[in-house]
Amino acid sequence: MTTASLPPLIPREVLLGNPARSSPRLSPDGKKLVYLAPHAGKLSVWAGTIGADDDRLIAHDPLRPIPWVAFRGDGQHVIYVQDRAGDENYHLFQVALSSGETRELTPGEKVRAMPLALDPRFPDQLLFTSNARDARFFDVWRMDLKTQQASLDTENPGDVIGWKNDHAFVVRAAVARSSGGSVLRVRDTAAEPWRELARFSSDDAEPRLIGFSPDGRALDVVTSASANAARLVRYDLRSASTSVLLEDATYDVADVYVDPGTHAPAAAAVLRDRLAWTALDPAFAADLAAIETGGDFAIADASADGRRLLIREQRDVAPDAYVLYDRDAGRAVPLFDSQPALKAAPLAAMQPVSFPARDGLTLHGYLTLPKGVEPRRLPTVLFVHGGPWHRDRWGFSPDVQWLANRGYAVLQINFRGSTGYGKAFRVAGDRQWAGSMRTDLLDARDWAIAEGIADPARFGIFGGSYGGYAVLTALAFTPDAFTCGIDVVGPSNLTTFLESIPPYWETMRQMLHQRIGEDAEFLRAQSPLFRAAQIRTPLLVVQGANDPRVPQRESDQMVEVLRSNGIPVTYVVFENEGHGFADPLNARRFSAVAEAFLQEHLGGRLEPAHEDEQIAPFLR
């Protein structure tokens, strides 16, 4: 590869820095927006009137970006969440649009509170979940937003992992863990007892509650019960009989849009290689056709009457764009691009790929090739997603574009255990973290080499969370397979990882044991820490000091063993981060050191580190 034929370098600050605007939400009347945008380097809360030039800052945290925001039902206040330094103990805050007065709604130490429901028909109420009563379990609390007084609404008996309210703002559905799977419970009113509506096996995974039917007599659920792929199913609350609203033989239903004006599901989407929407309400078919622009799209929000829709347009070679669609006029009006500085950038296309694993199971994924060079024997990065109960999908990815712009082919594979491809595919990953899930990644490497795309002597592996674990296992179990590895917040010892899960994951413990393992010797055999002496390839390890999911000990113990064995390892710890990067400056600092690391070992291009990207203070 001649780097001279590659397009110009896209600066890290442009690719990986703060978006200009993101995560917009629509006011109940459809006339105002609230969104996240930078202020003093941190994503903060801004608001404005659509079509006017009155956007203004209304909330800012000087220490940490704000991750989530939405309108209160009255349209005059905004609710947002924030944690401390990445500890994921989120609290709820309210800010008034008129005055900017901000109040914390859920104070307390080591308490996690998250919004459950806001509704314009109940403008002065908020339903939220909190583990204030018992750190292990999330109850539902109801807050009077005028007085900011909260009361316990629905107590968790100790097994519930998800709640759903009806159109009268009453909590009437719950998903609970049970022996061998999960159970769906419902009740008719807040004063009546809960009853079991349906049971699901562990292979089915937990049902996803979408909402109650317009008459309140049925509940719409996404589940793979009685099927392979997850379907959108309607349960009659009295008879427990079901009717299927949307299904696909192979791929899961990924998204459902419920019209807030009618409370009926208007459309649902199946995520194959690309996202495909189907109108469930015939009147919505024309709207889907009008919204379709050639890329994928999501319905990010809607006005209270459902007549104005906030659409997020997604493409692989352009950052997300937001438009306002008026159903009455049948017309879409552009609002903004999330990263306008990238609109003219030389971004690389993402193409779906598939191939058989060594046991014949078909694997799907995406390949992004650097622009301007022949796709032959390229330096390649296998970019492994986290979860692992997640999946890569088509669309714009800053990390993928950064790697491709530096000259690397980027391969993303949805290995077995990934979601989206039906329960048989997901269950095939049970207890296979270092087994067939790992060999699927090796098969992806071999496929890219056999296709002539990848240079076997310049093949790196990079991932975060489970993806970081996958990096460690790849280097420890097959020391000659990869040229180098980058592990971001990956567990190294599955025993200590499971011992350190947060208290509020307690209801997930049974599922984690089923999918990861429980026997001490088995977990040891699946843990790269105990094979660290076999690692020979250079490794970059990155950790957040406040990570509640993968504590710093997981990285500390791996680095200690590697260094005692003389294995080259660069170790970076960010004191103000948790499970990943919230601060874009930390993301750029990491990317600067990762870019230098990859250039040294794979030979791609390098943008020299800038003054604010110096990594020395974070090296351990």
Task: Give the Cα separation of 352 and 484 in Å (integer).
Answer: 25
Q: What is the CA radius of gyration of the chain?
A: 24
Residue 414, CA atoms < 13 Å, CB-side half-sphere: 25
Pair of tokens at residue 586: 């930390």
Which of 547, 555, 591, 601 is catalytic? The answer is 547
Strand partners, 459: 380
Alpha helices, DSSP H only, in 421-508? 423-427, 436-450, 466-477, 494-499
**In the annotation, is 547 catalytic?**
yes
Q: Which amino acid is at 493?
A: N
Q: Where are the alpha helices (DSSP H) in 285-363?
A: 285-291
Cβ neighbourhood burial of 52 (10 Å; 0-12, 13-18, 19+): exposed
- Is 326 annotated in the active site? no
Which is catalytic among the residues 224, 397, 436, 465? 465
Burial class (CB in 10 A: 0-12, 13-18, 19+), 210: buried
Which DSSP helix (H) or strand (E) runs through 195? strand 195-201
Closest to 470 in 3D by CA, of 461, 460, 479: 461
The one catalytic residue in 77, 91, 364, 579 is 579
Residue 364, token pair as written in the block: 């799907």
Is the bond preceding 388 in cis, omega lying within 30 degrees of 0?
yes
579 catalytic, yes or no?
Answer: yes
SS in 3 state form for 143-182? EECCCCEEEEEECCCCCEEEEEECCCCCEEEEEEEECCEE
How far is 496 from 529, CA to CA, in rounded Å? 11
Enumerate the active-site residues. 465, 547, 579
